[in-house]
Amino acid sequence: MLADGDRAQRFLALTGLTPDDLRASLDDPATLAGVLEFLCAYEPDLLAAAEALGVEPQAIAEARERMAR
């Protein structure tokens, strides 16, 4: 997510996190859920992330749903 400057800026602005904060909290389920929610909220971000990860966008959306439970 931080590889795309515009996307990273939006995410960090919305969350108030710094890049270091984000990296340090990636093992926190709340952070992971927030990242997935952010990606799923805007289809271009979802599609770009899915492509970068080599997965279908639906896989990211399903992960978000599992994290929400």
Tell me the pLDDT tens digit for each residue of 10-48.
Answer: 999 999 999 899 989 999 999 999 999 999 999 999 999
Domain segments of the chain as ranges: 5-68
What is residue 17's predicted lDDT score, i.e. its pLDDT? 92
pLDDT of residue 11: 94
pTM of the model: 0.86
pLDDT band at 4 (very low <50, low <70, confident <90, very high): confident
- 35 burial (CB, 10 Å; 0-12 / 13-18 / 19+) is buried
Answer whether residue 2 shows pLDDT above 80.
Answer: no
